[in-house]
Chains A and B, each alone.
Chain A
Amino acid sequence: MPGLSVKRRADAVGVLRYVNVLLMETLAAWVPSIPEMEAKVLFGRHIWRVAQRADSFGLRARELRAPMHHSVAPPPNCLLAFKTGAALRSTDERIAGYHDLLLGALGAGYAWYLEQTDRLVDEPSVVLIESGLREIDVMRTESARLLEDFPVLRLDPPRKLDDLRNALAVCGGMLANELAHDAATAG
Chain B
Amino acid sequence: MNLHTMPRLPVETKVVRGVHLRKDPAREPCFKVVDTDAEMVAWQDMSPQSQRERLHRHMNNEMSSLDIAAQCLADYPDAPWELRMQLARQAWDESRHVMALARRLREIGGYKGEFPVANFEWSVTCYLDSLVGRLTMQNRTFEAGAMDLLARLPAQWRAAGDEKTAELLESIAADEVQHVRFANQWIRRMASEDPRVLFQVAHAVRFLAAVNTALMPRPGEVNRLGQSVESAGEVAPISIEDRELAGFTQEEIAEILRQAGFRSVAAAAETRS
- Which residues does A use to contact B, with CB under 8 Å? 24-25, 27-37, 40-42, 44-45, 47-48, 51-52, 55, 58, 69
The listed residue (B25, B94, B112) touching A44 by CB distance below 8 A is: B94
The listed residue (B66, B96, B99) touching A31 by CB distance below 8 A is: B66
Question: In this complex, which of B85, B89, B95 has the most chain A Cβ atoms within 10 angstroms of its Cβ?
Answer: B95
Find out whether the CB atom of A32 lies under 8 angstroms from the CB atom of B92: no
Residue tally, chain B, CB below 8 Å to A:
28
Among the 9-residue stretches B67-75, B174-182, B234-242, the one with 4 or more Cβ atoms under 8 Å from chain A is B67-75
Find out whether the CB atom of A31 lies under 8 angstroms from the CB atom of B28: no
Least Cβ–Cβ distance between A44 and chain B, in angstroms:
3
The listed residue (B71, B77, B81, B92) touching A69 by CB distance below 8 A is: B81
Contacts of B71 on A, CB cut-off 8 Å? 28, 31-32
The verdict on B222 contacting chain A, using a C-beta distance below 8 Å, is: no
Find out whether the CB atom of B81 lies under 8 angstroms from the CB atom of A32: no
Q: Give CA–CA (A37, B89) in the complex, Å.
A: 19
Least Cβ–Cβ distance between B56 and chain A, in angstroms:
12
Contacts of A55 on B, CB cut-off 8 Å? 81, 85
- Which residues does B use to contact A, with CB under 8 Å? 25-29, 63, 66-67, 70-71, 73-74, 77, 81, 84-85, 88-89, 91-92, 94-96, 98-99, 102, 112, 122
The listed residue (A24, A33, A41) touching B95 by CB distance below 8 A is: A41
Q: Give CA–CA (A100, B191) in the complex, Å.
A: 43
Task: Name which residue of chain A comes closest to B77, CB basis.
Answer: A25
The listed residue (A34, A36, A45) touching B92 by CB distance below 8 A is: A45
Contacts of B85 on A, CB cut-off 8 Å? 51-52, 55
Q: How many A-B residue pairs have CB under 8 A?
A: 82
Question: In this complex, which of B70, B85, B98, B99 has the most chain A Cβ atoms within 10 angstroms of its Cβ?
Answer: B70
Task: Name which residue of chain A comes closest to B92, CB basis.
Answer: A48
Find out whether the CB atom of B25 lies under 8 angstroms from the CB atom of A33: yes
Q: Give CA–CA (A41, B97) in the complex, Å.
A: 9
Given the interface pairs A35-B26, A55-B85, the reply to whether A28 lies near B112 with Cβ below 8 Å is no
The listed residue (A29, A34, A42, A47) touching B88 by CB distance below 8 A is: A47
Task: Name which residue of chain A comes closest to B24, CB basis.
Answer: A32
Least Cβ–Cβ distance between A136 and chain B, in angstroms:
17
Chosen A-B contacts, 19 in total, with CB atoms closer than 8 Å, are A24-B73, A24-B88, A28-B73, A28-B91, A29-B70, A31-B91, A32-B26, A32-B122, A41-B98, A44-B70, A44-B91, A45-B95, A45-B96, A47-B70, A47-B73, A47-B91, A48-B89, A48-B92, A55-B81
Least Cβ–Cβ distance between A17 and chain B, in angstroms:
10
Find out whether the CB atom of B88 lies under 8 angstroms from the CB atom of A48: yes
Least Cβ–Cβ distance between B197 and chain A, in angstroms:
23
Instruction: Contacts A25-B77, A37-B112 known; list 5 others, CB within 8 Å.
Output: A28-B70, A31-B91, A41-B66, A48-B88, A58-B81
Q: Give CA–CA (A44, B70) in the complex, Å.
A: 8
Least Cβ–Cβ distance between B63 and chain A, in angstroms:
7
Q: Give CA–CA (A27, B84) in the complex, Å.
A: 13
Find out whether the CB atom of B88 lies under 8 angstroms from the CB atom of A40: no
Least Cβ–Cβ distance between B146 and chain A, in angstroms:
18
Given the interface pairs A24-B73, A25-B73, A32-B67, the reply to whether A37 lies near B88 with Cβ below 8 Å is no
Least Cβ–Cβ distance between A18 and chain B, in angstroms:
12
Least Cβ–Cβ distance between A10 and chain B, in angstroms:
17
Contacts of B96 on A, CB cut-off 8 Å? 45
Q: Give CA–CA (A37, B101) in the complex, Å.
A: 12
Find out whether the CB atom of B73 lies under 8 angstroms from the CB atom of A35: no
Q: Give CA–CA (A41, B66) in the complex, Å.
A: 8
Least Cβ–Cβ distance between B144 and chain A, in angstroms:
22
